[in-house]
Amino acid sequence: MKILVINAGSSSLKYQLMDSVSHDVLAKGLCERIGIDGRLTHKVPAKDAKYEFNIAMPTHSEAIQSVLDALVSPEHGVIADVKEIDAVGHRVVHGGEAFAQSVLITDDVMKAIEDCIPLAPLHNPANITGIRACQKVMGNVPMVAVFDTAFHQTMPEKAYLYALPYEYYENDKVRRYGFHGTSHRYVSARAAAMLGRDAKELKIITCHLGNGSSVSAVDCGKSVDTSMGFTPLAGLPMGTRSGDLDAGILEYLMTKYDMDIKEMLNILNKKSGVLGISGVSSDFRDLEDAAKEGNHRAELALESFQYNVKKLIGAYAAAMGGVDAIVFTAGVGENDMGTRMAVASGLEFMGVKMDAQANSTRGKEAVISASDSKVKVLLIPTDEELMIATDTAEIVGSL
Ligand code: ADP
């Protein structure tokens, strides 16, 4: 099947046209500046070609239309007719407690996704806009929603409940949801495949380390804990996000600097994390360059990040009563051998032994632990689009 994968943001929209059987990416690209002016970057991997166009995109509908035009264009297209697209898979950030897996989009499903808007006020409205635009432009093509939160719905109550008055969970749905679920699901399944084992007999810790970062405990193929929480602000310090902190700090700083909660959250989301500690950058490459030149705060930011990932690995090994494999993925996890080594070294006591040579690789699947390491350490590039395409093909194929 040919599946169009859509990831709609408020002013941008990423797409990939994939063959769900061969897993070939036929075309992919990005619409930017939707609602401002409009820019399309379209790539055709088979030709190693990249095209850029300025196209008016007052709304997401024009953006989707420009994607379809690019896909069928005689010069840079990859299909003869839009009818060749069998289905569309949409990334949706928040499915709340309503969705534990991907689903065919119906009116009821749209209503349930809308009901989750208060839980993800920045993301779900953009995802909904993307779905509606596709429905408008593509008519009755079947569409599937794939949720970032769904994989984590298997967490037990003790892992997802905050120690707040229980009615905030009952009435207001305040609980840990977790994000990056599609990525944790993909890499944990790939890890089992790489090890030639059934996921049902493995305890895996998946470290999705990118601009946003989260770690998950995956026991018997199911997420049993994860570091992001009610929002993607929780857990690890990230590029610009603080991760977990003492809630008392908010009151202290807001009072001292006369800030309202919006200003405070802006600092926690945009000015904290490794950027906040270092004062240099949110990008790990810049931090490594600065650290090499002797910048103490850049070094500290890296160390703090690595230390927190290591602590979570220890916590999740304890939570699962052991660990068979640790996986590194996403921008930092796939590319930054220094961070992988710093996180995994010092864990020899629990059976982790790295292979420096094997670890000096980037961006491709590899076992990076020593051959006699009890716990296997794996580098696995994530592929959320493939997961979305696979789910979509499976659901639509069974209609
Ligand atoms: P997002 O969470 O936005 O999807 P990514 O998973 O693409 O982010 O990760 C982006 C981050 O990966 C960059 O900000 C950068 O810190 C890091 N990164 C990318 N390449 C390298 C590299 N070669 N070395 C270290 N870090 C890298």
CA-382 nearest atom, ligand 1: 6
Contact between 81 and 122 (Cβ < 8 Å): no
For position 250, what pLDDT does the model report?
98
CA-213 nearest atom, ligand 1: 2
Helices 248-256, 261-270: axis angle to 10 degrees equals: 120
If you average pLDDT over residues 61-81, what whole number do you get? 97
**Ramachandran sector of residue 56 (left: φ over 0; alpha: ψ -120 to 50; beta: rest):** beta
Tell me which residue has its CA closest to atom 23 in ligand 1.
335
Q: Where are the alpha helices (H) located in the chain, listed in sequence order?
A: 60-72, 107-115, 124-138, 157-160, 167-170, 181-194, 248-256, 261-270, 273-278, 284-292, 296-320, 330-335, 337-344, 356-359, 384-397
The residue whose two tokens read 């264009």 is 73
| Band (357; pLDDT cuts 50, 70, 90) | very high
Structure tokens at 275: 């950027």
Give the dihedral sign, CA 131/134/139/141: negative
CA-283 nearest atom, ligand 1: 16
If you average pLDDT over residues 188-199, what whole number do you get? 98
For ligand 1, whether the C-beta of 335 sits within 6 Å is yes
Ligand 1 centroid, distance to 255 Cα (angstroms):
35
**What tens digit of pLDDT does each residue of 124-148 get?**
999 999 999 999 999 999 999 999 9
**32-41 b/e (C-beta count within 10 Å ≥ 16 → b):** bebeeebbbe
The string of DSSP letters for 306-359 reads HHHHHHHHHHHHHHHT--SEEEEEHHHHHH-HHHHHHHHTT-GGGTB-B-HHHH
**What tens digit of pLDDT does each residue of 248-277 get?**
999 999 999 999 999 999 999 999 999 999
Does the pLDDT of residue 122 top 90, yes or no? no
Ligand 1 centroid, distance to 278 Cα (angstroms):
16
CA-239 nearest atom, ligand 1: 14
DSSP single-letter state for residue 25: E
Contact between 82 and 69 (Cβ < 8 Å): no
Mutation choice for ligand 1 from 182, 184, 211, CB with most ligand atoms inside 8 A: 211
For ligand 1, whether the C-beta of 148 sits within 6 Å is no
Mutation choice for ligand 1 from 241, 281, 284, 384, CB with most ligand atoms inside 8 A: 284
For ligand 1, whether the C-beta of 330 sits within 6 Å is yes
State the chain's mean pLDDT as an integer: 97
For ligand 1, whether the C-beta of 332 sits within 6 Å is yes
If you average pLDDT over residues 183-212, what whole number do you get? 98
Catalytic residue among 24, 37, 107, 148: 148
Give the dihedral sign, CA 254/255/259/261: positive
**What tens digit of pLDDT does each residue of 198-237 get?**
999 999 999 999 999 999 999 999 999 999 999 999 999 9
If you average pLDDT over residues 8-16, what whole number do you get? 96
Mutation choice for ligand 1 from 335, 337, 359, CB with most ligand atoms inside 8 A: 335
| Band (50; pLDDT cuts 50, 70, 90) | very high
Catalytic status, residue 244: no
% residues pLDDT > 70 (the chain): 100
Q: How many helices (H) and strands (E) does the chain have?
A: 15, 14
Structure tokens at 377: 């350490």
**What tens digit of pLDDT does each residue of 263-322 get?**
999 999 999 999 999 999 999 999 999 999 999 999 999 999 999 999 999 999 999 999
